[in-house]
Amino acid sequence: MKLTTKVTELLDIEFPIIMAPMFLVSNEAMMRSAMDSGIMGCFPSLNYRNEGEFEGILDNLNKYKKENNVTGNYGVNLIVQKSNPLFVKHLQVCIDKKVPFYITSLGSPAEVIEKAHSYGAKVFCDVTNVEHAQKCYDLGCDGFIAVGQGAGGHAGPFPLQLLVPSLKKQFPNMPVVSAGSVATGEGIVSMLAVGAEGVSIGTRYIACPEAGVNDAYKNAIVDAKMKDIVMTDKISGTPCTIINTPYAKKIGYKQNWLEKKLSTNKRTKKYFKLLIAFRGMKRLEKSIKPAGYDTLWCAGQSVEMIDEIMPIKQITEKFKTETFETLAKLKRFSAKEVLA
Ligand SMILES: Cc1cc2nc3c(=O)[nH]c(=O)nc-3n(C[C@H](O)[C@H](O)[C@H](O)COP(=O)(O)O)c2cc1C
């Protein structure tokens, strides 16, 4: 089932879904399933931090793509921030292995854009407002990932029904992919209706056998409701969405006065932010190993609509079927029926 948009054409995929990059969750098996399903699979380079590991994964994915008749594609998410000590190294590996697609988050994407464009790769930038999008546009990015309210991870402050059209108004020719709160085909159609040419979906794809996390986390995604999602500063220093587990409640959601002071003081902020990110990463890492008491599970509000753990191929087929059914349903509406 094909659905052609500017994004599918640019990224060489059949259906306009990006399986969103997820720290500690995304892995090679997920990328292969995404490619087999005709969508774009993305993973954060930081999921592979041991010597030689990242290079190996890219070799495997390039080989898989070449040897199998895949209808999808894969891409890498780079955290382009000073607090990412592996950025320079990982970018060079990506260029050497000719990664076809990039998503940049947090800092300036200038270097990624310049290097990726040298061999024709595409770069989309995570943005949460028009001002940040303008900076990425001026640097020559190929598209935006509009990260809105309710998204898993570092959610944006604005509703996607407003953020997507505001980006299209300012940059009419730029492809926009919406990120946040979609777990059904109806949700995909709603994003296409406000102007997106693709949808980036994270949380729904945690509840699949391929994901590299424990069953307790996957079951928590199925069991949680949107009221159970809270924001915390405790993981990376930047507000991040998590399931409100007893441990999350115990450690609180806000940095204390000393942490706040250290993360804003000119002399200490760089090192303190690194420390917070490192501590947060360790806490998350612990939570994806066999379940213990101290669990911190990252997820977005779309948990509300997730009822089952399913293989990626099946999740994606469901998305496709629901999308076409919804489009057909809307086509059948006459103005009278809508008003009735
Ligand atoms: C568990 C988890 C980890 C994430 N890790 C990252 C990451 O490493 N880099 C990034 O750019 N976005 C990350 N995100 C955000 C996703 O890429 C995407 O924007 C988001 O999941 C879309 O919203 P949804 O979860 O409501 O579908 C993460 C999201 C989740 C749920």
Q: Domains (ranges, CATH) in the chain?
A: 6-211+308-339 (3.20.20.70), 215-301 (no CATH)
- Write out pLDDT tens, residues 244-301: 998 888 888 776 666 666 566 666 666 556 655 666 667 667 666 555 545 789 999 9
Q: Is 181 in the pocket of ligand 1 (CB under 6 A)?
A: yes
179 Cα nearest atom in ligand 1: 22
Probe target for ligand 1 pocket from 17, 19, 22, 104, with the most ligand atoms within 8 Å of CB: 22
pLDDT of the residue at 263: 65
Please tell me if the CB atom of residue 299 comes closer than 6 angstroms to any atom of ligand 1. yes
State residue 130 phi and psi, 5-degree precision: -70, -35
164 lines ligand 1 (CB under 6 A): no
For tokens 């008491």, name the residue.
293
Backbone angles phi, psi at 129, to 5 degrees: -155, 170
CB 180 within 8 A of CB 147: yes
pTM of the entire structure?
A: 0.91
Nearest-atom number in ligand 1 for the CA of 299 is 31
Measured in Å, residue 331 CA sits from the centre of ligand 1 at: 32
Place of tokens 């990376």: 236
Please tell me the distance between residue 340's alpha carbon and the centre of ligand 1 in angstroms. 39
Nearest CA to ligand 1 atom 19: 179
The C-alpha atoms of residue 210 and residue 158 are separated, in whole angstroms, by: 31
Nearest CA to ligand 1 atom 3: 22
Ligand 1 centroid from CA 153, angstroms:
5
pLDDT in tens, the chain (340 residues): 899 999 999 999 999 999 999 988 999 999 999 999 999 999 999 899 888 999 999 999 999 999 998 999 999 999 887 677 888 899 999 999 999 999 999 888 999 999 999 999 999 999 999 999 999 999 999 999 999 999 999 999 999 999 999 999 999 999 999 999 999 999 999 999 999 999 999 999 999 999 989 999 999 999 999 999 999 887 766 788 999 998 888 888 776 666 666 566 666 666 556 655 666 667 667 666 555 545 789 999 999 999 999 999 999 999 999 999 999 999 877 666 665 5
Of the residues 17, 19, 23, 78, which should be mutated to test ligand 1's pocket, given the most ligand atoms within 8 Å of the CB?
A: 23
280 lines ligand 1 (CB under 6 A): no
Give yes or no for a contact between 143 and 176, defined as CB atoms under 8 angstroms apart. Answer: yes
Report the alpha-carbon angle 31-81-260, nearest 5: 120
Q: Ligand 1 within 6 A of 196 CB?
A: no
Q: Closest by alpha carbon to 115, among 91, 143, 81, 84? A: 91
How many C-beta neighbours within 10 Å does residue 65 have? 17
Contacts of residue 192, defined as CB under 8 A and 6 or more positions apart, other chains included, come to 5, 16, 199
Alpha-carbon gap, residue 140 to 114, rounded angstroms:
8
Is residue 71 classed exposed, middle or buried when 0-12, 13-18 and 19+ CB atoms within 10 A define those classes?
middle
Q: Establish whether residue 77 lines the binding site of ligand 1, counting it when its CB lies within 6 angstroms of any ligand atom.
A: yes
Q: Is 126 in the pocket of ligand 1 (CB under 6 A)?
A: yes
